[in-house]
Structure 1
Amino acid sequence: MGAVPAGEPVYIDALGPTGPEPFRARERRPLTTLAGEPVGEISQVPALYVRRAISAMRAAPTTPAAQRFAALDKAADLFEGAAVAGLHPDDYAHLVSRASGVPLGVVRASIAWVADVLRTQRRTVELAMPRGVVADWRDPATTAGAAVWTRRGEVFAVHAAGNTPAVHGLWPEALALGYKVALRPSTREPFTAFRLVSALRDAGIPPATLTLLPTDHAVADVIIAEADQAIVYGGQDVVAKYEANPRVLTQGPGRSKILVTADVDWREKIDIIAGSVSHLGGTACTCATAVLVEGDPEPLARALADRLSLIPSLPPEHPDATLTVQPTDVSAGIDRYLHTVAGDARALLGGDTIVDELPSGGSVLRPAVHLVASSTAPQLGVELPFPCVWVGPWHERDGIAPLRDSLVLTAMTTREKLIEALLNEPSITNLYLGDNPTTWLRPGIPHDGYLGEFLMRTKAMIRSVPAAGSP
């Protein structure tokens, strides 16, 4: 971004493979706050630039493991606490909040999360490896025959999301594994991507190992086509576009859920349930969007609505803000869509509107709680980017079918046969039991499996021991 004095425009330009200087494209788009105030511009590099950049990355040598891990450690400190590309960390956090509507507290928690992820990559890489596999062909085990953990390709493309800075806590695992990473930032919130890439390059990651390629949607497809592997974030439309491509890992709607069976008193769990719905402003794929209750679900739904209604509407930079703010026209569009998909569901909160306009610009997305009549209600599969939850009944005869297709399922139950069935259900990615919110996550714990499971493979190797004195 260059030196950025207070009040000066912020330029998000490409960081190419040939050196430290950013490339400012002829085509650029404005960056604004929620109130429409201009804060800078983001370059939109053409397809030719992308192809040349990825070709240069592919031709560059792989960064040695020791250098990679040292750079990740150093970058954590820079990203969290130093002036990077001329922008102080506090100024950066406020900029993200003002431009994206993410509450400042969420931004700061996300920054700390990303820094922790960078610091723990040695351990994460080890945890992702199968037992008995070695990380380096020089390991003595290969003299007798062993499996070696090897990359499936050289260049990994990332189409980043902009809902919170925490989304950048996943792709650094690819750097740790020796991939070269081409990152396309979100236009909504490109500041974290630029800051993190700059910090990693300042810490010792070579330019040809890590690039930032801001561009439009059409050229974004070129990035995926040129790379070996890719990860993309988006809604169901994005998942449908790429789900048949084995080179692309999709990060779409989480449809995370909570199940409360009759052997558990939900009244003791209401704080955990409410936190699962509202954490990170309800924007994360791990936030609960459906709660199924054995027995009458209405008392839980009303108690949940009461809890969520107490969350204040505040500007995103307020220290107590927890709800996301969006431009009023965007919020109004989400509100209209909610009224359409709610159908016959009974609104207990947010039925009139979820839009709460702020004098400072933009509108808070207020929580919504709806009651549905059955565990097969189509609304249970609807996920929206704010605290929106559907509450319905579950019966033992329903089995696990209503709980499928969940990134996270928190099962508040003591029934071991049910737990076994949930654990063995392939479409439930993560299973949490008891007093653990759906939003629980720690560095080293897989989110949607370890990224290494997608990027790496085992390769059998056996080698002869060199004769004594041989070169």
Structure 2
Amino acid sequence: MAKVPAWIGRHEYTSSQHKSLTGFDGRPLAQIAQPNKLVQHKAVQLARRVAGDIREIDDATWFGYFHRAADVVEREQSAGNLIPIARAISETTGLPLSRVERGITAVAAHMRRIEDIMEVQAPHSDIAAYRTGRVNAAWAWLPAGRTCMVRVPGNFPTIQIEWLQTLAARRPTLINTSERDPFTAGIFVSALYEAGLPDGAISMCHGDVSTWVRLADQVVWPGEHAPRLEPSRLKTYHFGRSKAVLLDDHPDPQTWDRLARLAFQGSGRLCTNVSALAVTGDAESAAEQLAKAFNAYPVLPLTEQGARVPAFPDRNLLYALVRQIEREVAGGAVDMTGRGSDVPFVVEIDGSAFLRPTVLLTSADSPLFRTELPFPFTAVAQVDRRILDKACANSLIVSVIGDHPEVAGILGQEPTITKVFAGDLFDRGYDPVDPQEGYLADFLFQKKAILPQAAT
């Protein structure tokens, strides 16, 4: 059974206190180190001590750490050394193995673009501002703290970009992993330290990190169940509920395959997946076409190369989702994928449990039209064109299918919609150079009037 260490600075830490992590069959896969409060306190002290030092490192050297770490990860992947870790991630999260491997590759690619990702967030696109605080203005741009803790969900490997951006902003970063995936972050922490990152710039702990929440100057937390902290100390992220809007009765035939791919990216576990489709015309016809495209993705064993559908290691979650959807169907919704397929809603393969990818024809008032589920799922509803902005409120992305700039403009004015992609770019998906619920640097830094301005 593998032992998964914490990282206290550049040192791996295997504690006597640990938690067992099991796979689908209940067999323990790994022992996860659970550092105590004193050890967590040491990590915070390390981070505080190195905070000033890493702002003194020249840009070429600093971003070179990320480039060399990407080299390390790609070399390890090519040699097959990451296969056991990828298999463990697959077994504990339910993600198909090939998707895990592609996700790790994508994170390494993001690390090679880290200057571009950070440049768009800096004042006047001046990447040196992270280091100097100088912005050619009557104010300085300075860190809002010395340390930042980032809680990382286990939905998909590419979510590692959140803490990587925090680190790239020259902020010592305390990483708290998810319960189901304590593995992925460690791949990149190890690679960064191998690349020469200064000791203490990153630490990583699993399990309870209430000490970090209390001591970190700032906290970045996914989802809606964040700790209660002062607004200046807390940034929440990873809200999804992304939607698409269809205004044409006869869209390009490729639309349905493109929408299905958008729903299946990241095995349906990305905040950018299309979780609802608002149709101003014939919603049933649209749902039928989308269901046909969904049914082209079979449920396969997680180890098969073509697998796209995730499994559910947590059967309690699986059956809670089943009950939620069954209640909706009992209230009048139609399972369009079930209508055109003989595949049962719950699929068992080799001891793993899956939910068949689902297109549900429902109403815009349904709670399922305004949520996201952790598998390929899209709720389709008829929506009056005059209230599209209200129906699509509280969405990370709204994708407007077809040439409708006036509608895209109206949706863009809705404050709770973060991004609007339209026309041929409706399925553009996530790019880390985009503002994603704002830019992370806007939280990590603050403008300060310092007159006369001194060097920082």
Give the TM-score taking structure 1 as reference length: 0.86
What pairs with 1:391-406 in structure 2 (closer than 5 Å)? 391-406=380-395
Corresponding residue of 2:349: 358
Alpha-carbon distance, 1:465 to partner: 10
Larger deviation: 40-49 or 155-164?
40-49
Distance in 1 (alpha carbons) for counterparts of 2:125 and 2:263? 40
The Cα offsets for residues 349-371 of structure 1, whole Å up to 9 and x where unpaired, read as 35895320112x21122111111
Shift of 1:136: 6.6
Of 69, 77, 88, the residue aligned with 1:75 is: 69
* 1:236-385 aligned within 5 A: 236=224, 238=225, 242=228, 245-262=231-248, 265=251, 267-327=253-313, 329-330=315-316, 331-341=318-328, 343-350=331-338, 354-359=345-350, 361-373=351-363, 375-385=364-374
Deviation by residue 1:374-411 (Cα, 9 ceiling, x = unmatched): x3333311321011111011222224110111101101
| Contact in 2 for aligned 1:159/1:184 (Cα 8 Å) | yes
CA shift for structure 1 position 137: 7.9
C-alpha spacing 1:353/1:129, structure 2 compared with 1 (3 Å): same
Please list the CA deviations of residues 96-129 of structure 1 after superposition, one character each: whole Å capped at 9, or x if unmatched: 2233221122112211211121111112221112
Counterpart Cα distance in 1 of 2:24 and 2:197: 34
The alpha-carbon distance between structure 1 residues 136 and 171, as it changes in their structure 2 partners (threshold 3 A), is closer
CA contact (8 A) 1:16 1:211 kept: yes
* Structure 1 residue 273 displacement after superposition: 1.3
SS at match of 1:408: strand
**Overall identity of the aligned pairs, in %:** 27
**Residue 438 of structure 1: how far off its partner (Å):** 4.7
Aligned match for 1:189, one of 173, 178, 181: 181
Alpha carbons 1:256, 1:285 under 8 Å: kept:
yes
Contact kept in structure 2, 1:269 and 1:435, CA below 8 Å = no
- Choose from 440, 448, 455 the match for 1:451: 440
Hey, what does 2:220 align to over in structure 1? 231
**C-alpha displacement at 1:308, in angstroms?**
1.1
Offset at residue 460 of structure 1 (A): 4.0
**Contact 1:370–1:391, Cα closer than 8 Å, also in 2:** yes
Matches within 5 A, 1:411-426: 411-426=400-415
Kept in 2, the 8 Å contact 1:408–1:438? The answer is no
Deviation at 1:443, TM superposition (A): 3.9
Give the structure 1 partner of residue 143 of structure 2: 151
- Say if 1:346 and 1:372, in contact at 8 Å, map to a contact too: yes
Q: Distance in 2 between matches of 1:212 and 1:465?
A: 35
Structure 2 alignment gaps of length 5 or more: none
Q: 1:222 to 1:281 in 2, by over 3 A?
A: same
Partner deviation per Cα, 1:269-308 (whole Å, 9 max, x = no partner): 1111111222221111111111011111001101111221
The code of the aligned residue for 2:336 comes to L
Q: 2: distance between equivalents of 1:408 and 1:288? A: 8
2:424 is paired with a residue of what secondary structure?
coil
- Cα 1:65–1:429 change in 2 (3 A) is farther
Offset from partner CA, 1:431-455 (integer Å, 9 cap, x none): 1112335561234233332211221
Distance in 2, matches of 1:327 and 1:139, equals 46
Of residues 443-452 and 114-123 in structure 1, the stretch that sits farther from structure 2 once superposed is: 443-452
Q: Which runs of 5+ in 1 are unaligned?
A: 1-8, 467-471
| The one of 202, 224, 237 aligned to 1:210 | 202
Tell me what 1:4 maps to.
none
The residue type equivalent to 2:122 in the other structure is: M
Candidates 87, 104, 115, aligned match of 1:122: 115
> Is residue 50 from structure 1 mapped to residue 43 from structure 2 by the alignment?
no
RMSD: 2.8
Residue pair 2:140, 2:449 contacting (<8 A) in 1 also? yes
Q: Which residue of 1 aligns with 2:431?
A: 442
Residue 3 of structure 1 corresponds to none
C-alpha distance in structure 1 between counterparts of 2:184 and 2:416, whole Å: 31
Which residue identity lines up with residue 387 of structure 1 in the other structure? P
CA apart distance, 1:462: 5.8
One-letter amino acid matched to 1:150: L
Is 1:162 aligned with 2:151? no
> How far apart in 2 are the matches of 1:413 and 1:381?
23
CA shift at 1:332, angstroms?
2.8
CA contact (8 A) 1:287 1:438 kept: no
CA distance in 1 between partners of 2:133 and 2:34 (Å):
45
- The secondary structure found in structure 2 opposite 1:26 is coil
Shift in CA distance, 317/464, structure 1 to aligned 2, threshold 3 Å: closer
Q: Verify the 8 A CA contact 1:256 1:286 in the aligned structure 2.
A: yes
Amino acid at match of 1:198: S
Distance in 2 separating the partners of 1:278 and 1:391: 16
1:413–1:163 Cα change, 3 Å: same
Determine if contact 2:123/2:129 at 8 Å carries over to the other structure: no
Distance 1:294 1:55, change over 3 A: same
- Are the structure 2 counterparts of residues 45 and 139 from structure 1 closer, same or farther at C-alpha, using a change threshold of 3 Å? closer
The offset of 1:242, in angstroms, is 4.9
**Cα pair 1:272 1:437 within 8 Å, conserved:** no
Give the partner amino acid of 1:339.
E
Cα distance in 2 for residues equivalent to 1:149 and 1:280: 36
Q: 1:397 to 1:108 in 2, by over 3 A?
A: same
Q: What secondary structure sits across from 1:431 in the alignment?
A: strand
Verify: 1:101 aligned to 2:94, yes or no: yes
1:116–1:443 Cα contact (<8 Å) kept? no
Query: Quick check: 179-188 or 268-277, which moved more?
Result: 268-277
Contact 1:328 1:357 in 2 (8 A): no
Give the 3 Å change call, closer, same or farther, for CA 292–192 of structure 1 in structure 2.
same
C-alpha contact 1:62 1:178 (8 A) present in aligned 2: no
Structure 1 residue 327 displacement after superposition: 2.6
Cα deviation, 1:234-283, whole Å, max 9, x if unaligned, reads 3x4x15x5597442222244000000113762644111111122222111
